[in-house]
Amino acid sequence: MKISRSPSLAVLATAFAVTFQAVGPAMARTDLRDDVEPTVSGSYLAARFASSERDNDAAVTHLRNLLKLDADNPEVVERTFIATLVDGQMNDAVALARRLVEIDSNNRLARLTLGVNAMRKKHYRTARSNLALSVSGPIGDLTATLLAGWSFLGSGQPKNAVTVIERLKGPEWYAGLKALNAGLILQVAGKDKQAGKLLRQAAELDPNSLRAVEAYARWVSRNEAPEAALAIFNALDSRLQRHPMVKQQKATLESGKPLPALVNTPQEGAAQVLYDLGTLLARQGGEDLALVYLQLATWLNPDHPFGYLTLAELYEQLKQPEKAIAAYRLVPASSPMKRDAEIQLAVNLDATDNFDEAQEHLKALVTTQQSEPDALIALGRIQQGRKKFADCAQSYASAIKLITTPGQSNWPLFYLHGICNERAENWPIAETSLKKALELEPDQPHVLNYLGYSWVDQGIHLDEGLGMIRKAVALRPDDGPIVDSLGWAYYRLGRYQEAVKELEHAVELMPQDPVINDHLGDAYWKVGRKLEAGFQWNHARDLKPEPDDLEKIEKKIRLGLDAAEAPAPIKKAEDVKKTDDSSAPQ
């Protein structure tokens, strides 16, 4: 191997750390200009900054520049490989993986990538050779073993496949995945009786796993009776609440037809392994490795709808709506999950400031399936986010009409309908919907808070309204906005000392909220703490409040509260019983 004459990346990091802190994002973008020749130091620092900002597209660009300049540096090769893999550029990732194992033959992620590539090409022995060198830690051990099992099936050795899985020792949570994969392998091999025992075991070990329960129910539908499988899906439906996949499978079973197996080839089985573990990693906070597993899963099985959905959801979590949109577009049209994907695609279009396109996309979905409220609810949410309150009130109203018998799970819809109508100044309708939400979920703190504060703010039902807000605080004592509501209610009622106490607590809970800091400033002014009031207003101004609020805050900073048209106390404040907070209804 040639020895690089370039300085090590660690040395570069130390040497340029001070410079990078000084120039920040501007230097990070230097190499993207056409008239600037990339340099080792510039590309390295730009790649690091892009990675820290989770801008993987930019990171890949800079790392490729760096690779051209420092082609023999092992760390550069590895970083470029990982960034390319995370980005889903699989052909390039395979080429870099081959380069990487020439430098470091035991690089685990490179070996895993080469093993998956071999599985795609049905080179099962080559796959096992690479997978054997990818083992490390609980996730790595399980991944390599389960994939090796599927490669043995591809080689026509189902007995060896099950044996290698059964021999794996590890944490208790291995058991469900071991049973599921051994059962699926035996099922593909035509050994249905043995497969059924293991699939049932997998479903019993992890009854909350959609895929494990689905795999067993599918087996039951073919080997026992569709009616027995339908009972399993009915139980699953009660927990998942109208999951599209469960709904589709139930419809098939109700027609008397059995369901096909969950997987039918070694490639589909291996992709399911990567999907299951990628989902597990995402739940545990391992986003980068989860992205790798999900990219590998969808590469191995391009028709894996749940792989694309989870990949898109992960991009949403990472605040990358453009990538989420791309992943949602890849969900197969034949999948029962396609409608959900289209709805979320529209939500992400809105997140990229394409509101008009998002709205039209959702309206088209409403037209194609008029009996389902999901697209209407999503339409209402994006309209509400854009402060189009009359529009969102209408969208939520249309969704409510589709619900014949509202249940507990529908309280959020009535709550949102109430909010939009209140903001659109349709209080009678808003009050009716908020009361309905509270009827469906009596102890819901957000509804208690919104309805209670609305009453207090209007000077009606003062005792009951204040009691509702107190109850909301008792239920959610660490919720800054709810505590702020109680403090601001006291302020509006002219009970300024009590307002200061609650608003100080709200600021402790949410110190970066401009509205809460502004409220505390007003309360301080009313109790004579004018210097502290000015401090709070200045802090609120610096926290980037809404433009209308900013104008009012700046006026208070210049002129004081008395000259800034502060809201007058509610006239009926004397009718409110000054009960201690401890007397709030529980």
Say whether pLDDT at 26 is over 70. no
pLDDT at 580: 43
Supply the CATH classification number for the domain 1-105. 1.25.40.10
pLDDT at 55: 61
Say whether pLDDT at 314 is over 60. yes
State how far the Cα of 130 lies from the Cα of 114, in Å rounded to an integer.
Answer: 6
Say whether pLDDT at 18 is over 80. no
pLDDT at 353: 96
Ramachandran sector of residue 560 (left: φ over 0; alpha: ψ -120 to 50; beta: rest): left
Dihedral over Cα of 431, 433, 435, 437: its sign? negative
Say whether pLDDT at 48 is over 60. no
What's the Cα-to-Cα distance from 111 to each of 59, 81, 97, 287, rounded to whole Å?
23, 12, 7, 20
Which runs of consecutive H residues, i.e. helices, occur in 352-410? 355-368, 374-385, 389-401
Question: Which one-letter amino acid corresponds to residue 456?
Answer: V
| Among 127, 216, 545, 42, CA closest to 50 | 42
Q: Are 115 and 147 in contact (CB under 8 A)?
A: yes
Class of the CATH-defined domain 444-586: mainly alpha
The pLDDT mean for the chain works out to 87
Q: Are 161 and 185 in contact (CB under 8 A)?
A: yes
Tokens of 570: 């509610």
**Is 355-442 CATH 3.40.50.720?**
no
Question: Which one-letter amino acid corresponds to residue 525?
Answer: W
Q: Are 141 and 170 in contact (CB under 8 A)?
A: yes
What's the Cα-to-Cα distance from 392 to each of 235, 357, 420, 447, rounded to whole Å?
34, 16, 6, 18
State how far the Cα of 405 lies from the Cα of 395, in Å rounded to an integer.
Answer: 18
SS3 at position 26? helix
pLDDT at 40: 53
Q: Are 271 and 281 in contact (CB under 8 A)?
A: no
Predicted confidence (pLDDT) per residue in 359-370, tens digit: 999 999 999 887
Q: Are 333 and 339 in contact (CB under 8 A)?
A: no
Predicted confidence (pLDDT) per residue in 261-302, tens digit: 999 999 999 999 999 999 999 988 888 899 999 999 999 999
Predicted confidence (pLDDT) per residue in 74-103, tens digit: 787 888 899 899 999 999 999 999 999 999
State how far the Cα of 52 lies from the Cα of 41, in Å rounded to an integer.
Answer: 17
Tokens of 338: 């396609």
At 197, the pLDDT band (50, 70, 90 cuts) reads: very high
State how far the Cα of 405 lies from the Cα of 487, in Å rounded to an integer.
Answer: 37
At 54, the pLDDT band (50, 70, 90 cuts) reads: low
How do the domains of the chain map onto residue ranges? 1-105, 355-442, 444-586
pLDDT at 513: 97
Higher model confidence: residue 285 or residue 6? 285
Tokens of 524: 């301080």
**What is the arithmetic mean of pLDDT over 426-434?**
98
Domains 355-442 and 444-586 share a fold: yes
DSSP 410: G
DSSP 134: S
**What is the arithmetic mean of pLDDT over 447-469?**
96
Tokens of 261: 């197996």
Question: Which one-letter amino acid corresponds to residue 382?
Answer: I
Say whether pLDDT at 43 is over 60. no
State how far the Cα of 246 lies from the Cα of 230, in Å rounded to an integer.
Answer: 10
